[in-house]
Amino acid sequence: MNKFNVLIIEDEKNICNFISKTLSSQGYRVSCASTGNEALSLATSLCPDILLLDLGLPDMDGMEVIHRFRTWSNRPIIVVSARTLEIDKVRALDAGADDYLTKPFGISELMARIRTSLRHSNPAANNGDTPPHLYHAKGLEINFFKRTITIDRNPIHLTPIEYKIVAFLAQNSGKVMTYSAVMNSVWGPYAESDNKILRVNMANIRRKLEKNPAEPIYIFTEVGVGYRMADDEEPL
């Protein structure tokens, strides 16, 4: 099996060692950078499959690393940061980070997010090399070709807008999508900046999909940031 290359960008030695040991024990190849400049030069020479990025770096802000890295690579970036403000998460995600984990984090959560990001960036690594046209999770099935949604085989009727929202989240399942990312994908670049219309649609979607809309099992809210759809169950 071809090992995935992970680049950890973190100036705290013990955090770096901890993540690096866990990843190595699970068969990943790991490199570490403790500054933004070192990270960017390693990223060009090693072509890592995924970046784990701390935002508080000694020589530059991690946001700068995201901006620069995104000018030439679309490999996934998971931010692992002590910054817990919603606005920091939104900025990082909108700048092109794929996911965001706040410190302190659970190592199994981090491993799960890494697997999700890698699966999304390497669809061919799953089964065959055609893009997936089905989404499955907990009895919910979406067929992106037929544009149909069923739960336990019962059809669910969504409006075209509601379908677009759900399909976009499902195609990015397991990852948090910011409100503005969803708005842009559904209403285009001229979407209103106010996300009220999105919240109204989401309330209707949840009434149709969730048994208990207050405790959703399909689409989760990341308060102040966006939505995350339950991860696609592994293809058989």
The verdict on 88 binding Ca ion (CB under 5 A) reads no
The verdict on 54 binding Ca ion (CB under 5 A) reads yes
Contacts of 122 (CB under 8 A, 6+ apart): 49
The distance of closest approach from Cβ of residue 108 to Ca ion in the complex, given in angstroms and rounded to an integer, is 22
Coil, strand, or helix at residue 137?
strand
The distance of closest approach from Cβ of residue 9 to Ca ion in the complex, given in angstroms and rounded to an integer, is 9
Supply angle C-alpha 210, 214, 218, rounded to 5. Answer: 40
Q: Which stretch binds Ca ion (CB under 5 A): 27-35, 55-63, 116-124, 195-203?
A: 55-63
The verdict on 11 binding Ca ion (CB under 5 A) reads yes
Coil, strand, or helix at residue 40?
helix
* Burial of 138 (C-beta count, 10 Å sphere; 0-12/13-18/19+): exposed
Q: Which stretch binds Ca ion (CB under 5 A): 5-13, 45-53, 61-69, 123-131?
A: 5-13
Q: Quick one: which H or E segment has residue 67? A: helix 62-70
Calpha distance 165→201 (Å, rounded) = 8
Nearer to Ca ion, 54 or 162 (CB): 54
The verdict on 38 binding Ca ion (CB under 5 A) reads no
Residue in the shown chain whose Cβ atom is closest to Ca ion: 56
Nearer to Ca ion, 12 or 234 (CB): 12
Residue of 24, 26, 41, 56 that binds Ca ion (CB under 5 A) = 56
Contacts of 100 (CB under 8 A, 6+ apart): 78, 79, 81, 89, 92, 93, 176, 225
Coil, strand, or helix at residue 21?
helix
Nearer to Ca ion, 18 or 144 (CB): 18
The verdict on 61 binding Ca ion (CB under 5 A) reads no
The distance of closest approach from Cβ of residue 74 to Ca ion in the complex, given in angstroms and rounded to an integer, is 25
The verdict on 98 binding Ca ion (CB under 5 A) reads no
Interface residues toward Ca ion, by CB under 5 A: 11, 54, 56
